[in-house]
Structure 1
Amino acid sequence: MSEYLEVTARTIGCFFLLYIGTRILGKQLISQMTNIHFIASISMGTIAANLTFNTPIKVVNFILAFVIIVMIALAGVTMSARSKEARKFFGGCPTPVIKDGQVLEENMINLHFTIDYVNQLLREKDIFNIEEVQDAIVEASGKLSVLKKPLYREVTKQDIKIAEAEQTNRPVELIVGGAVLEANLMQHNLSLLQLELDKQKLLLNEVDYAVIGSNGKVYILSNKDSKQ
């Protein structure tokens, strides 16, 4: 096989190898890009790029290295889905930089963020005045989630029906991946969760995800729903 044909065959094989690896790791590799996804994507891309033109090295060596990287990343993703500690270790956790209108300077220092960079992220969300922000959280993916103060929020159809706009609370997660977030439960009314469990005839260990919405209602996703 000539060198040109070999490079062509390697490139085609590389494309399908990357496609298979991406499908195995799931859509989070593209959408969320947490620490483990970032490392996996760079490693997979580097190995695949070398596979296309580094002809002196055997193809099987590249494939072996590629498979090992995918398996390590898949193990990390699987552990993150089942353990809160593993989720923090592999993916990190959200960090608030503005809370109740106050800038949390210590958190910004830990993230190596400056106020100019935060303002830049806010401008990308069409917010040019930091005083409009009630809460801002840097997600594990590095993206900034923002909750405006009630005065600066866009009017919805529901707002038109009420006489006075009320400040809504952020949704609070109670159970994630089957793990109970005891700190959140202690800060909120546990009876709301129990009432919803009784209503749906579910046990606590049958719940995969539970959250108190901004309207104060509890929403539950059970293991049975996930399997279905």
Structure 2
Amino acid sequence: MADWLDVIFRAILFLIVLFIITKILGKKQISQLSMFEYVTGITIGNIGAEVVTGLEQEIHLGIIALVTTAAIPFLSGLITMKSKKMRNMIDGKGTIFIQDGKIMEDNLKKERYTIDEFLELLRKKNVFDISEVQYAVLEAAGDLNVLLKKEYRPLTPKDLHMKVASDKQPQVVIMDGEILLEPLATMGRSRQWLHTELRKLGVTVENVFIGQVNSFGEVTVDLYDDLLQVASPQERPLLYATMKKCQADLELFALGTDNESAKQMYTDNSIKLQNAIDRVAHILKS
């Protein structure tokens, strides 16, 4: 076999082998690497490159070396799942840089970080004032996680004692003008239902670049033609407005009648409807 054909064959073969090994090792191997996994990844890459270009090397020996090297982090992963001591030794553990608002200078020196490098990490977390930080830790994978002091954290609906509707993952039901049946089936919806919702928006499937169904069952679309404007779903606002109108009408009926039993009936039902509105307003108005 010609050398150039041999190199092509080896490259394809080892690409497949490396892909299989990576799938076995899992997503962790390609996301946040520990120091041990980082060293293992470099070693596997070097072995693959050496065997692909080194025509004097035996292919089966290279595959054995790859599998052996890959088996080490696989086995260590099983061990670290069972033992925290081994996990700390192999994967490492986080280093606290700020504790209760105080910078831990010794820990910065231990990890060989200058104050400029530390400030850069904070800026990547959108923190420009150290005095706002309550706690900061450098994780074993090298990421800095920051907890702001309570007065500097963003407000949440819970802080304001507000009720908000729970969200579910939106489902993409149209992509490139084609209906995706699997997401529709997951939500218990049909193709006919989707066409009905699109007619309400005044669009056809062929004009839709991407279409989603949100947690409230409303269809939102983005069209190929960016100049066309599509109205937002109005079912929830209309329902809220209708309920408010009915409640106001009941109050007017109570004020407009001299019959005491009718007045009491209208008043009671007005209060019940207002209570119902209060319970669902955070859903209908969101």
Fold-level match, TM-score > 0.5?
Answer: yes
Look up the match of 1:70.
70
Contact 1:34/1:91, CA 8 A, preserved across alignment: yes
Report matched runs for 1:7-22 at 5 Å.
7-22=7-22
Which secondary structure state, in structure 2, belongs to the residue aligned with residue 158 of structure 1?
coil
Aligned mates of 1:26, 1:66 — CA distance in 2: 16
- Residue 51 of structure 1 deviates from its aligned partner by 2.2
- Residue 28 of structure 1 deviates from its aligned partner by 1.1
Aligned mates of 2:60, 2:81 — CA distance in 1: 31
Larger RCO (alpha carbons 8 Å, 6+ apart): 1
Aligned mates of 2:112, 2:84 — CA distance in 1: 24
- Residue 18 of structure 1 deviates from its aligned partner by 1.2
- Residue 11 of structure 1 deviates from its aligned partner by 0.8
Contact 1:28/1:37, CA 8 A, preserved across alignment: no
Q: Which runs of 4+ in 1 moved over 3 A?
A: none
- Give TM-score scaled by structure 1 length: 0.68
Aligned mates of 1:19, 1:159 — CA distance in 2: 47
| Counterpart residue type for residue 145 of structure 1 | N
Look up the match of 1:95.
95
Look up the match of 1:4.
4
The alignment status of 1:144 with 2:144, answered yes or no, reads: yes
- Residue 27 of structure 1 deviates from its aligned partner by 1.2
- Residue 130 of structure 1 deviates from its aligned partner by 1.2
- Residue 133 of structure 1 deviates from its aligned partner by 0.9
Aligned mates of 2:30, 2:156 — CA distance in 1: 31
Which secondary structure state, in structure 1, belongs to the residue aligned with residue 154 of structure 2?
coil
Report matched runs for 1:2-151 at 5 Å.
2-151=2-151
Residue by residue, what CA displacement relative to the aligned partner does 1:43-88 show, whole Å, maximum 9, x if unpaired? 1111111122111111112111111101111111111111011101
Aligned mates of 1:60, 1:150 — CA distance in 2: 59
Contact 1:37/1:73, CA 8 A, preserved across alignment: yes
| Counterpart residue type for residue 96 of structure 2 | P
Aligned mates of 1:97, 1:110 — CA distance in 2: 10
| Counterpart residue type for residue 92 of structure 2 | G
Give the CA RMSD over aligned residues.
1.2
Residue ranges of structure 2 left out of the alignment (5+ in a row) = 163-286
Count of aligned pairs between the two proteins? 162
| Counterpart residue type for residue 54 of structure 1 | G
| Counterpart residue type for residue 99 of structure 1 | Q
- Give TM-score scaled by structure 2 length: 0.55
- Residue 35 of structure 1 deviates from its aligned partner by 1.6
Aligned mates of 1:160, 1:18 — CA distance in 2: 52
Residue by residue, what CA displacement relative to the aligned partner does 1:101-128 show, whole Å, maximum 9, x if unpaired? 1001111111111211110101111111
Aligned mates of 2:150, 2:138 — CA distance in 1: 21
- Residue 141 of structure 1 deviates from its aligned partner by 0.4
Percentage of pairs with the same residue: 35
Aligned mates of 1:91, 1:29 — CA distance in 2: 12
- Residue 160 of structure 1 deviates from its aligned partner by 2.0
| Counterpart residue type for residue 125 of structure 1 | K
Which secondary structure state, in structure 2, belongs to the residue aligned with residue 97 of structure 1?
strand
Aligned mates of 1:63, 1:85 — CA distance in 2: 32
Aligned mates of 2:122, 2:64 — CA distance in 1: 43
Which secondary structure state, in structure 2, belongs to the residue aligned with residue 45 of structure 1?
helix
